[in-house]
Structure 1
């Protein structure tokens, strides 16, 4: 399947690899910056249920299980051995930022909410602001075009349209006829 490489090509390839390795021995700051910019993208990992401060404040003692579920969502952990306890755990792992974890535990007695324990939860606006942290945002370019900068493109578009109109119509570039389909159900019922 593969043709063998000529002997001279193998030697040249080995010499090129050795020169690259030799050049790597003197790593400079610019080389480190270049290498770090070539790092692979790491996906943000979000696991569990995000519970906001507003949701926790909406919980009141005496609420039923379904009411709590409606506010907080389905708990991440429901133990068979601790049926009167629901655990809501949320973790966020992002590139360049320490992993964040929050936990909220809801306790029931006779299917009624008794108490809530856990980490202080961020408000929804704080959480959205937290998601934007750590990202390097470059300068956003101004996206405005002046009339003078658009003139060359308008001339080129007009020339392309004129050339297209001058083409003879053949089977290859003829416009296709619209296709219609019969109705799925007959109207005479």
Structure 2
């Protein structure tokens, strides 16, 4: 065997070090900016909804002086009810939905004993229709699915064909053979009933 030239390990290490210059750096890696990866792809984002959806209509039904139980019936259980601050309920609502702007609202109910003292409502609290419109990600131009037939379309449908296997009505023939049951009052009573 011939001995390796002394310069061969030196050349191999230079080649390896030269290859390191082709490794990507953190700055050159594809990035996720905004809602897009590489400026083209939109990754799936999990919809996160937390808290109580409160609308102007719901809050309008709550009046000062109502007991806690009635406020809970109208607005639902608060997201935060602190043991150390029993006179304050925080109704927090957050939603992150792909294709819609993120939302966050806080409604604070303050109590004096068991009675509602004040209800702090944000100015941007939406009505029910405004809330539905804000989370609706339906894009105009898409064909919306038809969920019901019009009366003219119902009238145009052919009448249903009578089935040859259709069983005659029970009133015409009486009970089905083999299915005769005794009256309930004739059954023996069970022990302990």
Which TM-score band applies after superposition, normalised by the shorter structure?
0.5 to 0.7
From 129, 138, 141, the counterpart of 2:133: 129
Q: Tell me, in whole angstroms, the C-alpha distance in 2 between the residues paired with 1:187 and 1:115.
A: 63
Q: Which runs of 5+ in 2 are unaligned?
A: 1-37, 147-177, 187-193
Which whole-Å CA distance do the structure 2 matches of 1:141 and 1:49 have between them? 29
The Cα of 1:118 is off from its aligned counterpart by: 3.2
Aligned match of 1:90:
93
The answer to which structure has the higher helix fraction is 1
Per the alignment, residue 74 of structure 1 pairs with 77
Secondary structure at the aligned position of 2:139 is classed as coil
Based on CA coordinates, which of the two structures has the bigger radius of gyration? 2
> Of residues 49, 60, 64 in structure 1, which corresponds to 2:63?
60
The residue matched to 1:128 in structure 2 has which SS? helix
Residue 135 of structure 1 deviates from its aligned partner by 4.1
> What residue number does 1:40 align with?
43
Question: Equivalent residues in 2 for 1:1-189 (5 A)?
Answer: 35-36=40-41, 39-120=42-123, 121-132=125-136, 134-140=137-143, 187=182, 189=186
CA RMSD of aligned residues (A): 3.0
Q: TM-score, normalised by structure 2?
A: 0.52
In structure 1, the gaps of 5 or more residues are: 1-31, 144-181
SS at match of 1:55: helix
Cα distance, 1:48 vs structure 2: 0.3
The CA deviation at 1:55 is: 1.3
Cα separation, 1, equivalents of 2:97 and 2:90: 23
Quote how far apart the aligned CAs of 1:137 are: 4.3
TM norm structure 1: 0.53
Equivalent residues, number: 117
